[in-house]
A and B are shown apart, each in its own frame.
Chain A
């Protein structure tokens, strides 16, 4: 084994080590939400929870770099626990939250922590929504100048025919604009749009009740149509199905990030499933895709 090969081998081991915090290795994230700790620097809480018994709220932190489920159950008891806030582990604000009780997703169901493969997970019920960001936080995803990377860990539910996963939105209009991800006909569609019919999109096949990690590249200004939106599912082959030359407008900068739904909740089109982690980098980590996927899979045991 040559010296360079040895260095590459040990770097690969380091990067796939689940005890290495992802944001320490790949730091240029805009926002990072997870039920495990992603950064050695971050010292804040993981989530804020409202218990159904009396609507009291409490911050829940980490123990051993994972959500403190003991503190969570001690607070919620035999009731339901709803996520009011999913804290951004970059520590820059932009927390995912919802101020409306009926649309807050679930972390404890009748005294039992929601889990996927033994790890805590947040469950949406098709009418839920969490939103984050000021009007310019996510401009980089559609401004045509930045090659951005996102990764998300989720499990689909029984409905992959008409649900929304995440969406850049003004939260004030039902016009479909910005970068978004939604599911229909057993497809996850990664899309960018300005309203109207013009759109670029990449489609990946998905199934019901299945655990996934999606690594995506958003490069909407790329001159090669197939490279504008790239999707990778469970560290398989890259999916590049876009054929449109359409370029989303750079003028649409007033977007917030909606997770679990479209711009409005209570529309029965929200995600029927669990989310465990979402990281949005304003950097190109396509060369590190396998190492990032390995770090995630070593922790979540997805594939």
Chain B
């Protein structure tokens, strides 16, 4: 299925992007809070080669920039 978002070829880059978004929104607010991140990344483990991605949301466009569209294989 087509996903609009941000694609990363290694997990570390996805983690960096996740932290950028969390820092932008001041998360976590306190160490005791449940909420640690603003967005999280997913692993496209059925794709070859595998990759990591963050799905698009308007709230992160100003942080991560213009999204792209890519295919993610998901088994239902």
Given contacts A57-B29, A174-B46, contact A267 B35 (CB under 8 A): no
Instruction: Count chain A residues whose beta carbon lies closer than 8 angstroms to a beta carbon of B.
Output: 29
Chain A 160-178 interface mask (CB, 8 Å, partner B; 1/0): 0000000000001111100
Q: Give how many A-B residue pairs fall within 8 Å (CB-CB).
A: 78
Given contacts A174-B74, A175-B46, contact A100 B29 (CB under 8 A): no
Instruction: Count chain B residues whose beta carbon lies closer than 8 angstroms to a beta carbon of A.
Output: 29
Chain A residue contacts of B27, Cβ below 8 A: 55, 101
A127 CA / B39 CA spacing, docked (Å): 11
Chain B 33-67 interface mask (CB, 8 Å, partner A; 1/0): 11111111011111000000011010100000000
A74 sits at the interface (CB 8 A): no
Chain B residue contacts of A265, Cβ below 8 A: 40, 55
Given contacts A57-B29, A101-B27, A173-B45, contact A84 B34 (CB under 8 A): yes
A102 CA / B54 CA spacing, docked (Å): 12
In angstroms, how far is the closest chain B Cβ from the Cβ of A56?
6
A195 sits at the interface (CB 8 A): yes
A266 sits at the interface (CB 8 A): yes
A182 sits at the interface (CB 8 A): yes
One of A104, A172, A175 near B35 (C-beta < 8 A): A104
In angstroms, how far is the closest chain A Cβ from the Cβ of B73?
7
The SS class assigned to the A binding surface is loop
Chain A residue contacts of B5, Cβ below 8 A: 266
Chain B 8-25 interface mask (CB, 8 Å, partner A; 1/0): 000000000000000001
Q: Which of A101, A176, A265 has the most CB of B within 10 A?
A: A101
Given contacts A55-B29, A174-B75, A182-B76, contact A100 B39 (CB under 8 A): yes
Flag if B39 contacts A102 (CB, 8 Å).
yes
Given contacts A174-B45, A266-B42, contact A100 B73 (CB under 8 A): no
Flag if A99 contacts B34 (CB, 8 Å).
yes
Q: Which of A84, A266, A267 has the most CB of B within 10 A?
A: A266
A206 sits at the interface (CB 8 A): no
Chain A 266-300 interface mask (CB, 8 Å, partner B; 1/0): 11000000000000000000000000000000000
Flag if B75 contacts A100 (CB, 8 Å).
no
Chain A 175-214 interface mask (CB, 8 Å, partner B; 1/0): 1100000100000000000010000000000000000000
In angstroms, how far is the closest chain B Cβ from the Cβ of A191?
10
A99 CA / B74 CA spacing, docked (Å): 23
Flag if A101 contacts B45 (CB, 8 Å).
no
Flag if A55 contacts B46 (CB, 8 Å).
no
In angstroms, how far is the closest chain B Cβ from the Cβ of A82?
8
**For chain A residues 81-111, which have a beta carbon within 8 Å of chain B?**
84-85, 97-104
Flag if B55 contacts A99 (CB, 8 Å).
no
A171 CA / B52 CA spacing, docked (Å): 14
Q: Which of B30, B33, B54 has the most CB of A within 10 A?
A: B33
Chain A residue contacts of B54, Cβ below 8 A: 266
Given contacts A55-B29, A174-B46, A175-B46, contact A127 B35 (CB under 8 A): no
- The 7 A-B pairs at the shortest CB distance, nearest first, are namely A266-B55, A84-B34, A99-B36, A100-B40, A176-B75, A264-B42, A57-B33
| Interface contacts beyond A55-B27, A100-B38, A182-B76: sample of 15 additional A-B pairs, CB < 8 Å, sorted by A | A50-B33, A55-B33, A99-B34, A99-B37, A101-B25, A101-B27, A101-B39, A127-B55, A174-B46, A174-B74, A176-B75, A265-B40, A266-B5, A266-B42, A267-B1
